Structure 1
Amino acid sequence: MTGPQPCQGAAKVAARDQLLTARRRRPLAEVGAAARAIADGLLATPEVRRAATVAAYVSVGTEPGTTALLDLLADAGKRVILPVLLPDNDLDWAVYRGPASLAPARRGLLEPLGEPLGVDAVATADVVLVPGLAVSTGGLRLGRGGGSYDRALARVPVGTFTCVLLYDDEVLPEVPAEPHDRPVTAAATPSGVVRVRPG
């Protein structure tokens, strides 16, 4: 019998390395096309169409891009809130008011300059969009390992549309998971929005 946490921890590190390497190799044209397709797919979902508040994030590097998505959400009349990384790796939130409202922050991130809303602000969102490296068909998300989004997702009411933005080949039959990992309900990929079943 193996102890799940040490083995799963090592498996997560290996999986992250493979997924990050694959992302670094993606051509910029593919990254841009994927961002547009993901934005179109998300904006067509009933959950996003009827949402008043959307919690999202600013993509970095070769993550599926969110730059256009943020502006399209705002142009559609949505209140968009973005994370602000706190010293303990928890996430505060502030309202997005266009590209000029973003400023460089720790770890190469861009964060909103607005008034902090508090860590519980994510619970007010009708839709929560999160980054990740992969997701299982059962809804388990593999993140970068800081635990920030697991904490944030723990505050989100059950039944909220929670969606990770990924490339098509990052939706997998399973991913390494630990007890603290919080599931999501969907994955947005260039091919469309895939409903996954948490648990």
Structure 2
Amino acid sequence: MSSDTAHAKRALRAELRERRRILSRHERDEARDALTRQLVALAQTLGARSLSCYLSTPDEPDTRPFLRWACEQGVRVLVPVSREDGLLDWALFTDADEIEDAQGMPAPDGEVLGPIAVNEVDLMLVPAAAVDASGMRMGWGRGYFDKTLGSMDRRPPVFAVVFDHEIVESLPAERHDQRVDGVVTPQGIRRFDR
């Protein structure tokens, strides 16, 4: 990675983290409710009977109401569990107790499935720091989702989940960075041509 690209990514991530940190409780609650409606609409439109989605941290767009809805509808939901080797395992979401995985991220306290468990889902919802107008996704720098997406033989539709202000015109990118098929924000769903 060039030092200019690395610096640009670090600076943008810091700015985005700060913007997330200063969102008010009211703004977060409104975003959660609107985002849940958008995620439900996407899952219904795609007819997803199985999906993968992350368990949000306090600063991320809140996915838990959507995950509970999906389980109530009988949708099979896999959530990522990060490993020390930089890969993702997967576990079934049951809205039961949570633990922290190898990277301190929330994970379900249940049976862990291997990395290939995600190959059978109809829809992938992934976290992001930002997404640009071409569908380039910038994560938080650990590379878990880029590795997963880059290694899949049969990739289902992949949508990043971000706040509205995190769709930007362009992002610094490297060869390993992966594009997404769309983005979901509280204000709507946007698809990208691939």
User: Structure 2 length normalisation: TM-score?
Assistant: 0.92
**Match of residue 128, structure 1, among 124, 132, 155:** 124
1:157-189 CA distance string (max 9 Å, x none):
556211111111111111111000011011110
In the alignment, structure 1 segments of 5+ residues that lack a partner are: none
Cα-Cα RMSD: 1.7
The aligned residue for residue 153 of structure 1 is 149
Of stretches 113-122 and 67-76 in structure 1, the one that deviates more from structure 2 is 113-122
Q: Determine the C-alpha separation between the residues in 1 that align with 2:186 and 2:92.
A: 26
The code of the aligned residue for 2:32 comes to A
- The change in CA–CA distance for 1:155 and 1:121 in structure 2 (over 3 A counts) is farther
1:44-90 CA distance string (max 9 Å, x none):
12666511211001100221001111101111110000111101221
The aligned residue for residue 37 of structure 2 is 40
Q: Determine the C-alpha separation between the residues in 2 that align with 1:47 and 1:153.
A: 23
The code of the aligned residue for 1:42 comes to L
Q: Is residue 90 of structure 2 the alignment partner of residue 93 of structure 1? A: yes
- The change in CA–CA distance for 1:157 and 1:186 in structure 2 (over 3 A counts) is farther
Q: Is residue 54 of structure 2 the alignment partner of residue 57 of structure 1? A: yes
Q: Determine the C-alpha separation between the residues in 1 that align with 2:143 and 2:85.
A: 10
Is 2:91–2:113's contact at 8 Å kept on the other side of the alignment? yes
Is 1:95–1:112's contact at 8 Å kept on the other side of the alignment? yes
The aligned residue for residue 192 of structure 1 is 188
Q: How many residues align?
A: 194
The aligned residue for residue 19 of structure 1 is 16
- CA displacement at 1:112 relative to structure 2: 1.4
1:15-52 CA distance string (max 9 Å, x none):
10111111111112211211221111121126665112
How do 1:101-120 and structure 2 match up within 5 A? 101-120=97-116
1:103-162 CA distance string (max 9 Å, x none):
233444211122222111122111000101100110111110000010111234556211
Is 1:122–1:155's contact at 8 Å kept on the other side of the alignment? no
Is 2:88–2:144's contact at 8 Å kept on the other side of the alignment? yes
**Match of residue 81, structure 2, among 84, 89, 93:** 84
The code of the aligned residue for 2:172 comes to P
Q: Determine the C-alpha separation between the residues in 1 that align with 2:153 and 2:65.
A: 27
Of stretches 106-115 and 177-186 in structure 1, the one that deviates more from structure 2 is 106-115
The aligned residue for residue 6 of structure 2 is 9
User: Structure 1 length normalisation: TM-score?
Assistant: 0.90
Tell me the percent identity. 32
Is 2:119–2:154's contact at 8 Å kept on the other side of the alignment? no
The code of the aligned residue for 1:43 comes to V
